[in-house]
Structure 1
Amino acid sequence: MATSSNGKPTVLILIANGTEEIEFVTPYDVCVRAGFSVHSIGVGLETNHFVAKCSRNIRLIPDYPSLNDTPSTLLDNGTALILPGGAAGAKTFSTDASVLRLIREYRNDGKHVACICAGTTALVASVADADAAADDSQAARKCRVTSHPSVKAEIVAQGWEYAADEERVVVDGRVVTSRGPGTALLFALTIVELLAGREKRMEVEGPMVCAEVL
Structure 2
Amino acid sequence: MKRVLLFLCQGFEELEAAVFTDVLGWTRMEGDQPVELITAGLRPKLKCTWNMIVEPEMKFDDIKADDYDALAIPGGFDGAGFYEDAYDERFLDLIRQFDKKGKLIASVCVGAMPVGKSGVLKNRTATTYDLSGGHRRSQLTEMGVKVLDQRIVVDNNIITSTGPATGLDVAFTLLERLTSHEHMMEMKRHMRFID
Asked whether the two chains share a fold, i.e. TM above 0.5, the reply is yes
Residue 161 (structure 1) aligned with residue 131 (structure 2)? no
User: Which of 2, 16, 19 matches 1:9?
Assistant: 2
Q: CA deviation at 1:52?
A: 1.3
Instruction: Work out whether residues 45 and 53 of structure 2, in 8 Å CA contact, stay in contact via their aligned partners in 1.
Output: yes
In the TM superposition, 1:1-214 aligns within 5 A as: 8-34=1-27, 35-43=34-42, 45=43, 50-64=44-58, 66-68=59-61, 70-72=62-64, 75-88=65-78, 90-127=82-119, 139=120, 141-149=122-130, 150=132, 151-164=136-149, 167-210=150-193
Q: Tell me how far apart the structure 1 counterparts of residues 82 and 142 of structure 2 sit (CA, whole Å).
A: 18
Distance 2:89 2:142 in 1: 22
Identity, % of aligned positions: 28
CA distance in 2, matches of 1:90, 1:156: 20
Deviating above 6 A after TM superposition, structure 1's stretches of 4 or more consecutive aligned residues are none
Q: CA deviation at 1:210?
A: 1.8
SS of the counterpart of 1:206? helix
Residue identity opposite 1:114 in structure 2: A
- 1:211 shift after superposition: 6.6
The superposition leaves residues 178-197 of structure 1 with CA deviations (integer Å, 9 ceiling, x where unpaired) of: 11111111110010001101
Q: How many residues align?
A: 183
Q: 1:90-130 CA distances to partner (integer Å, 9 max, x unpaired)?
A: 41343211111111111110111111111111011101xxx
TM-score normalised over the length of structure 2? 0.87
Residue aligned with 1:171, SS: strand
Matched with 1:131 is: none
For structure 1, which runs of at least 5 residues remain unmatched after alignment? 1-7, 128-138
How far did residue 175 of structure 1 move? 0.5
Partner AA of 2:146 in structure 1? E
1:118 counterpart SS class: helix
Q: Deviation per CA, 1:127-146, whole angstroms, max 9, x where unpaired?
A: 1xxxxxxxxxxx46431111
Contact 1:94–1:122, Cα closer than 8 Å, also in 2: yes
Rate the CA distance shift 1:209–1:198 in 2: closer, same or farther, 3 A: same
Question: Letter of the aligned partner of 1:41 in structure 2?
Answer: A
Shift in CA distance, 71/15, structure 1 to aligned 2, threshold 3 Å: closer
Q: Aligned partners of 2:63 and 2:94: how far apart in 1?
A: 13
- What is the RMSD of the two structures over their aligned residues, measured on CA atoms? 1.8
Q: 1:163 corresponds to which letter in structure 2?
A: L
Gaps of 5+ in 2: 28-33
